[in-house]
Amino acid sequence: MNESSILALGGNQESALGSPKVTLQHAIRALGSREFEVLKVSNFYATPAFPAGSGPDYVNAAVLVRSNHSPQDVLARVHDIEADLGRQRELRWASRPVDIDLIAHSDVVLPDAETQAHWRGLSLEDQMSLWPDQLILPHPRLQDRAFVLVPVCDVAPDWVHPVLGRSMRQMLENLPESDRKEVVAL
């Protein structure tokens, strides 16, 4: 199988290991113990918390990995890494030491294009109060978030969204310049 996955990492709280950047570096190393081959690692970036005012600034990064895991297995393994690093899933968009999101898995669309489009089209208000009970791929809001697209463009700028038909680079270029400027290399 040997599929590639794009992972977005972030954190804005100290962990038992130290700063968010140190915690993310540890998370990246931990991927190897979960049978991932790390192909590329982005730069680390400082970004404002999302949504605005929801906590301290984040450190964000992205990783391109290859594995024999299904998308569901990839998600389960990165959730295990999060838990090992002190992540507790209590509140949506709460401050956290680490967050690892499965952004894309090759050109897989899950569960189907219609469901993916539904979640992609939610208003910000609905995004804050609703969350899916199943894996949605590609991540339904990746095209809206500079804090995801800037680091992802370091590792997979030419990956094309299988539903939108645009590359990561094109989606980043479509964002307002003000959004892109909020993502600052560390």
Instruction: Give mean pLDDT, residues 32-55.
Output: 89
What is the Cα–Cα distance from 37 to 162, expressed in whole angstroms?
23
Task: Count CB neighbours of 119 within 10 A.
Answer: 17
What is the CA angle 8-12-17, rounded to 5?
A: 95
**3-state secondary structure (DSSP) of residue 74:** helix
For 137-146, the pLDDT digits (tens) are 999 999 999 9
Q: Is the pLDDT of residue 83 over 80?
A: yes
Lowest average pLDDT, out of 10-14, 17-21, 127-131, 165-169, goes to 127-131
Crossing angle of the two packed helices 20-33 and 71-84, in degrees rounded to 10: 130
169: domain CATH number? 3.30.70.560
pTM attached to this predicted model: 0.92
More confident residue, 98 or 96: 98
Residue-number span of the structural domain to which 90 is assigned: 3-185
Q: Is the pLDDT of residue 12 over 80?
A: yes
In 41-112, which residue ranges form alpha helices assigned H by DSSP?
71-84
Q: What is the percent of the chain with per-residue pLDDT over 70, rounded to a whole number?
A: 93
Q: Is the pLDDT of residue 10 over 90?
A: yes
Count of domains in the chain?
1
111 DSSP assignment: S
Confidence of residue 122 (pLDDT cuts 50, 70, 90): confident
What is the CA angle 156-69-13, rounded to 5?
A: 65
